[in-house]
Amino acid sequence: MLRPDLLAALTARRLLAIVRGNSPEAALDTVVTLARSGIDLIEVSLTGADALRVIERARAVLGPDALLGAGTVLTARDAGSAADAGAAFIVTPGITDAVAASRAMGLPVLAGALTPTEVAQALAEGATAVKLFPAGPGGGPQLLRALRGPFPQVPFVPVGGIDAAAARAYLAAGAVAVGVGSPLVGRAADGDPAGLRTRAEAFCSLAGEGL
């Protein structure tokens, strides 16, 4: 499995789908449906039921080049397990041991940060991009604009309660991409797939317009 150019993928797609759920079968179906609907940069959160197995099975279905990663990775052990399952990149909620461990394995990392100190630490740890989290409660697009003052070259990816309107606002404020969970996935990952393809098509259209 080749390691992806995560920054290039974020820049080109501008959308990272986040899948988590209580049903492994439904989560797997959600990942495959998203990928086949044009949203092919996907994070499977390790907080979901049997998430490592979901990643492993999704990798088998989608192939070695799929842009499939693991999210909510907290420890070096989690990072290793995610890599073994087939994750091609790692997403953390903060500056955890998983950042350095993932980089040591050659995996690109989207590392969570909210403050200037955390952003600087994420860069020092070798993060490919910075996950601005939690984006909504953390200050919204105004915070992103403020952070881009001292960090103009940092690729920020806001995550947390982002719908289409918020995505537009964050991208207008300079985000390289946005991470979207429930506004896109809905309850599909818990076994309610109705409307998933429609939402995926809508977000694909927005991404095509630059959101």
Strand partners, 42: 17, 68
DSSP secondary structure string for all residues of 64-132: TT-EEEEES--SHHHHHHHHHHT-SSEE-SSS-HHHHHHHHTT--EEEEE-SHHHHHHHHHTT-SEEEE
Active site amino acids: 43, 131
Structure token pair of residue 27: 């989560």
Q: What is the CA radius of gyration of the chain?
A: 16
H or E element that contains 54 = helix 51-62
Structure token pair of residue 64: 């070695």
Query: Do residues 93 and 74 make contact, with C-beta atoms less than 8 angstroms apart?
Result: yes
Other beta carbons within 10 angstroms of residue 206's beta carbon come to 17
For the chain, count helices (H), then strands (E). 10, 8
Structure token pair of residue 6: 């995560």
Produce one character per residue of 95-107: b if its CB has 16 or more CB atoms within 10 Å, e if not: bbbbbbbbbeeeb
